[in-house]
Structure 1
Amino acid sequence: MKSVLITGANKSIGFETARQLLQQGYHVYLGSRTLENGLKAAEQLKSEGLTEVETLQIDVSDSASVKAARAELGNKINVLDVLINNAGMSGGMPQAALEASSEAFRRVFDTNVFGVVDVTQAFIDLLRNSPAPRIVNVSSSQGSLTLANDPANKYYRHKGSVYQSSKAALNMYTIQLAYELRDTPFKVNAVDPGFVATDFNNHRGTGTVQEAGTRIAKYAMLNADGPTGTFVSEEHNPETGEIPW
């Protein structure tokens, strides 16, 4: 049975992704910043008959928490097949480039960028033991430099200097990671779940968590012929999914 670790999986898109991968026969390690919330989420899934789920307490913005989570998981398994870096934060609004504080940038980058780096580096050894490892970095089309500068983009006027900068940085990390792992079985991709109605955006989104979960799970389950080093958003490009960096 393949295994997957999903950070920030106790609610919203992460939780739905966990549900869909459980339905596909994966064993899910449900990452949650607080143990209590993670246990509640796991119990909900078990009540649906999805029993191959365990809670892993992990605060991606705390390097000590990441190390502790790696040690805990390492006591249970030697192989991790999929890592989904889903945990993220918006930083709240407004985020004007001339007004947002450097502290606001640091706080968001701690989760959206540095947290991904810490988690990926901490669990890479377990992933290397898989015959077909997959890394999915949950990004956003808002992190596309090209789309952010395109007046024809439907979200052109939806600006957020802190959040968008963090996702652009995450995208570059994804490119670098995919390049370093290019001659291995790894598949590394950045996936935009779409503008989804969740707590993250005060439910202003137009998409559903079910759609978002399907988009992420698809890249977690790529076969050997699947792409790597791509940035995809089926909301922007329903045909191939790929969008400009």
Structure 2
Amino acid sequence: MESTIPERIAVVTGSNKGIGLEICRQLLSKGVKVVLTARDEERGIAAVKKLQESGASDVVFHQLDVADVSSAEALGKFIQTQFGKLDILVNNAAVSGAEIEPQALTLSNQPGGGAFSSLLDMTLETHEKAEECININYYGTKRMCKVFISLLQLSQAPKIINLSSGYGRLKCIPGEAIRKKIANINDLTEERLDALVESFLNDFKEEKHKENDINWNTGTRTVEEGAKGPVMLALLPNDSPSGLFYCQTEVSSFE
């Protein structure tokens, strides 16, 4: 008698477009049931319809704002009621923490207009945008893990995949002191990491350093290529190594 693989359930945050949407598409092609999420309900429903029109049927939408704990908890209750467990959590939702003039994007997308690096001089960074970025990119990921950890523990092969841009590497942090503290992983507790985040925001408020993390659609890879790594990790066997940093599909140093 052949053994059957239990249905796998995945939640992908910020997945109504871009790499998030492509991760949903690729997971669906592997037989995974996907809960596509987005802050904007209309855009999320439109994304699900787009997937269904392309032949994917095992996908549903649920509204989610990772910056709002009540929104994350509402999604958790939905997953608990509908499926009783969660197998894959892909933390993809993120914002740039900076603003860019529309005309700058228009120029950059024209032939010879310049790559992502040339846009960094055209961005406006404020303390308010930095707080929003930290609340979504860092604390939002923590909220999702906290809400779903008990449901993930009910899975036979639970996976949490956290996405980052290339600016997630230590070398991209301008301050040497904070780089050294984050690199010391043996002494880096959750409380100390939170304190470093608050220190970053204070430094930002005093205009001590700058950074960006979203590429405004000027990346060097396609969404299909960008989604390949997260999907590969989501489907790794249960006895695979955990807690590693990957660049695309290869294990990499986070430095």
Could you tell me the TM-score, scaled by structure 2's length?
A: 0.70
Q: Which residue of 2 aligns with 1:224?
A: 238
Residues 1:18 and 2:32 are matched in the alignment? no
Q: Which residue of 1 aligns with 2:172?
A: 148
Kept after mapping to 1: 8 A contact 2:88/2:158: yes
Given candidates 124, 127, 141, the residue that maps to 2:152 is 127
Q: Which residue of 2 aligns with 1:191?
A: none
Matched residues in 1 for 2:229 and 2:72: separation?
26
Given candidates 107, 124, 139, the residue that maps to 1:114 is 139
Q: Show CA shifts across 1:23-46 (max 9, x none).
A: 000000001112211111111111
User: What is the root-mean-square deviation of aligned Cα atoms in Å?
Assistant: 2.7
In structure 2, stretches of 5+ residues that fail to align are: 1-6, 101-119, 191-213
Q: Which residue of 2 aligns with 1:56?
A: 62
Q: Which has the larger radius of gyration?
A: 2
In structure 1, stretches of 5+ residues that fail to align are: 150-158, 178-199
Moved over 4 A (4+): 93-96
Matched residues in 2 for 1:204 and 1:141: separation?
13
| TM superposition shift of 1:243 | 2.1
Matched residues in 2 for 1:47 and 1:118: separation?
32
Secondary structure, aligned partner of 1:204: coil
Kept after mapping to 1: 8 A contact 2:79/2:86: no
Secondary structure, aligned partner of 1:56: strand
Q: Show CA shifts across 1:46-89 (max 9, x none).
A: 11111000001100011121111212222211111000000001
Matched residues in 1 for 2:189 and 2:63: separation?
28
Q: Which has the higher helix share?
A: 2
Q: Which residue of 1 aligns with 2:82?
A: 76
Q: Which residue of 1 aligns with 2:223?
A: 209
Secondary structure, aligned partner of 2:82: coil
Q: Show CA shifts across 1:118-177 (max 9, x none).
A: 1111111111100110000012231211x337xxxxxxxxx8x9xxx9xx98xx7xx979
Secondary structure, aligned partner of 1:75: helix
For 2:138, the aligned partner's letter is V
Matched residues in 2 for 1:101 and 1:33: separation?
22
Structure-2 change in CA distance of 1:244 and 1:202 (3 Å): closer
Aligned pairs, how many?
Answer: 197
For 1:143, the aligned partner's letter is G
Matched residues in 2 for 1:12 and 1:176: separation?
33
| TM superposition shift of 1:205 | 1.0
Matched residues in 2 for 1:226 and 1:214: separation?
17
Structure-2 change in CA distance of 1:119 and 1:106 (3 Å): same
